[in-house]
Amino acid sequence: MTKRVIVAEGPDFLARDGLSLEPAPWEDGLRADTGPGIFEWWYFDAHLDDGSTAVVVYLTKPFLQRTDPLTPTLFLTITRPDGKKLSDLLSYPASQFQAAREHCDVHIGPNWVHGDLRRYDLHAESPGLAADLTFSGVVPPWRLGAGKQYYDEALTCYFGWMPAIPFGTVEGTLTYDGQAHRVRGTGYHDHNWGNVGLNEVFSHWYWGRAHIGDYTLIFAEETATKDFDHQKIAFLMVAKGDQLVVSSGQPLNVQADEEQSHPSGKRYPRRLDFHWQGEAGTIHLGLRRPELIEAESVLITLPAWKRALARLFVNPYYFRFNADLELMANLAGEAVTEHGRALYELMILH
């Protein structure tokens, strides 16, 4: 019997989790148990004016090791202005993990982050690298409905996602090559948690975000596995300034063209078009001339012996791009066209 993905929209789902329409600070605190079968992470990325970037992720366990006991892990990547990527993945004893439930306050070894949906201060370090950054939200926190997808009719298997800072400013210090570099720029933060293996329920997904002109966008289309009849799940958030104008789980019409081969054996499109139509109007997103900025097997997070064994059966792959974006929107009778850059990813799990 074919299963279905249930997107947790509507007042019943809000009431089920004790949520109001607007996200509250506790929603960015610890949301799940830390034991086997359950995962959680707090993700931050920054694009700085000097051309550097930083990604910091605080995880209760590595990405593909959901069934492990609590294994607090820090992922830190700094890409220098010249494009060279410096990256570390560090795990710590379970005793070196603390997280509050009332708001975001996570400690993993010497690394920490705390915030309240408006401002976040974080510190992350590894041998030779460090990030000390402050994120300040420009666009308010957002979630679609209750921020969850369920994968069974009993509503026990789920994946949760909430962008606490869909778009904001960043300032602070990045340390690499033996020097501290003062930085300023823009950033994003989201929070994910759940108790289902993403490789068990997703075939692949496109996910992206952009800030062009007065508009901030988050867009995604997920394709479930054949057990769910390859069901499509879509998300679209559009804000103008600091005001939300579209929050939708309605289907996106996605067209992917000009497939490009990669040495991994995977393929990705060089042209992507997303079209949305709803009560508020229409939106078209055209992504062109993608610059491949990351391409990596997701198995890299596994121990070497597990990695070699897993590759005999599957090799999930992650692609990250920076591309030209054309936004054409007709909302509330106002037609606009904007051009800029968008960051997006393609995750291939099957």
CATH code (residue 236): 2.40.370
Whether residue 188 is found in the same domain as residue 243: no
pTM (predicted TM-score) = 0.93
Whether residue 244 is found in the same domain as residue 306: yes
Which residue reads 């509250």 in tokens? 24
Which residue reads 């089920």 in tokens? 16
Q: Is 277 exposed, middle or buried (0-12, 13-18, 19+ CB in 10 A)?
A: middle
Q: Give the residues across from 183 on adjacent strands.
A: 172
Residue, of 107 and 317, whose pLDDT is higher = 107
| Total domains, the chain | 2
Task: Identify the CATH number of the domain in which residue 105 sits.
Answer: 2.40.370.10
Q: What single-letter amino acid sits at 239?
A: A
Contacts of 241 (CB under 8 A, 6+ apart): 214
Number of Cβ within a 10 Å radius of residue 100: 15
Whether residue 247 is found in the same domain as residue 283: yes
Whether residue 203 is found in the same domain as residue 192: no
What pLDDT was estimated at residue 1? 65
Whether residue 192 is found in the same domain as residue 320: no
What pLDDT was estimated at residue 297? 80
What pLDDT was estimated at residue 211? 96
What pLDDT was estimated at residue 301? 55
Distance CA 286, CA 299 (A): 31
Distance CA 265, CA 81 (A): 29
Which residue reads 């300034």 in tokens? 241
Q: Which residues form the domain of 37?
A: 1-196
What pLDDT was estimated at residue 62? 86
Gyration radius (Cα) of the chain, Å = 19
Whether residue 39 is found in the same domain as residue 163: yes
Number of Cβ within a 10 Å radius of residue 95: 9
Whether residue 146 is found in the same domain as residue 29: yes
Distance CA 64, CA 62 (A): 6
Instruction: Tell me the average pLDDT across 161-184.
Output: 98
Residue-wise pLDDT tens digits, 244-297: 999 999 889 999 999 999 998 899 999 999 999 998 899 999 999 999 988 888
| Domain endpoint, select from 143, 164, 196 | 196
Instruction: Tell me the average pLDDT across 76-84.
Output: 95
What pLDDT was estimated at residue 34? 96
What pLDDT was estimated at residue 187? 97
Q: Give the residues across from 132 on adjacent strands.
A: 123, 173
Instruction: Tell me the average pLDDT across 7-21.
Output: 97
What pLDDT was estimated at residue 281? 94
Instruction: Tell me the average pLDDT across 228-233.
Output: 95
| Domain endpoint, select from 130, 162, 196 | 196
Query: Helix or strand or coil: residue 66?
Result: coil
Write down the mean pLDDT value for the chain: 93
